Amino acid sequence: MTAELDVLAAPARPGRASPPAGRLGRLAQQPFLVLSWIIVLVVIGWAVAPGLFTSYGPYDGDSAAGFAPPSAEHWFGTDRLGRDLFARSVYGAHTTLTATLLAVLVAFGIGTVVGLIAGFGGGIVDTAIMRVVDVFLAIPSLLLAMVVVSVLGYSTQNIALAVGVSSIASFARVMRAQVLAVMTQDYVKAAYGLGGGRLRVLVRHVVPNSLNSVIALAALEVGTAVLAVASLGFLGYGAPPPQPEWGLLVAEGRDYVAVHPWASIMPGLALALVVISTHRISTSYRKEHRR
């Protein structure tokens, strides 16, 4: 994680934005990136309009069809109660992605402000803030999230807040590094030389030119947050049964993996594809920005 932050914190190279035709041409040459976008857009569709992707409800069960293997009728198979696992995965996307979005917004909003204050304030303000950030970075993020959830209570909303809080330090570190890099640029010095006040320079020059790497981290953090939310759900800190949630779906099938492996593998595969896809998109964004 530290290596990723160091890469993201590196100042972006100045340059002219690529024309849309050039971007589309490069996109056509990257089939895995196109596939990643398709996967992410489909999963967003699951979260927004699940009824368009399955005719089954997340709680509709048929005890006579318990643990049916994947087939044309049940793409992911069924669980022990005969509930369609594909339908539960589709409806579970809303729960997991909503928590993920809230977590990233919390981390991005608070972390960016904290890093901006530290980098632009400098001196004792910077030192005090970054020592606190270092403490948070020293604690494993999943452990910190579990502690926060234990304090707030078990629910999907509290999981989202916990994951967001555990990621604030990463955003603060990247934002501070970007602010310090921008502050050394000639155009910032020129803005001061022309009589620009600190607030004016901050708003017009420092903030806009410091956000690119933080946005790239936010895209990367989406996949990390999805995995963290699902992990906490798997451990029992999230939505209670029978509510569909990706981590809970994997947990419900773990006792039957040896006999009915699809009960855990299929929801887990959907989770893995989303995480891999978001990481691929984030990497592409960073490379495009540094051209």
Under 8 Å between Cβ of 217 and 171: yes
What domain range is 263 assigned to? 2-11+21-289
Q: Using the predicted structure, report yes or no on whether residue 138 has a pLDDT greater than 80.
A: yes
Q: What residues have CB less than 8 Å from 249, skipping those under 6 apart?
A: 85, 88, 89, 92, 264, 267
pLDDT value at residue 21: 54
Q: Using the predicted structure, report yes or no on whether residue 197 has a pLDDT greater than 90.
A: no
* pLDDT-wise least confident of 130-139, 175-184, 189-198: 189-198
Please count the structural domains in the chain: 1
* 123: CATH: 1.10.3720.10
Neighbours of 40 (CB within 10 A): 19
**C-alpha dihedral, 250 to 254 to 257 to 262, nearest 10°:** -20
Each residue's pLDDT tens digit, 256-291: 888 999 999 999 999 999 999 998 888 887 776 665
Local structure of residue 202 (DSSP, 8 states): I
Domain contains 182: yes
Q: Using the predicted structure, report yes or no on whether residue 27 has a pLDDT greater than 80.
A: no
Report residue 139: phi and psi, to 5°.
Answer: -95, 130
pLDDT higher for 185 or 109? 109
pLDDT value at residue 157: 86
Query: Quick one: CA dihedral 160, 166, 168, 170, positive or negative?
Result: negative
Each residue's pLDDT tens digit, 199-243: 777 778 788 888 888 888 888 889 889 999 999 989 888 878 888
Domain contains 279: yes
Q: Using the predicted structure, report yes or no on whether residue 89 has a pLDDT greater than 90.
A: yes
Name the burial class of residue 1, with classes exposed (0-12), middle (13-18) and buried (19+) by CB atoms within 10 angstroms of its CB.
exposed
pLDDT value at residue 15: 44
In three-state secondary structure terms, 31 is helix
Domain contains 16: no
pLDDT value at residue 291: 58
Domain contains 37: yes
Domain contains 165: yes
Domain contains 213: yes
CA distances from residue 171 to 10, 18, 166 in whole angstroms, order as listed? 13, 27, 10
- Amino acid type, 215: I
Q: Which residues of 180-214 are buried (b: 16+ CB within 10 A; e: fewer)?
A: bbbbeeeebeebeeeeeeeeebbeebbbebbbbbb
Q: What gap in Å lies between CA 166 and CA 88, rounded to an integer?
A: 28
Rounded to an integer, the average pLDDT of 43-56 is 93
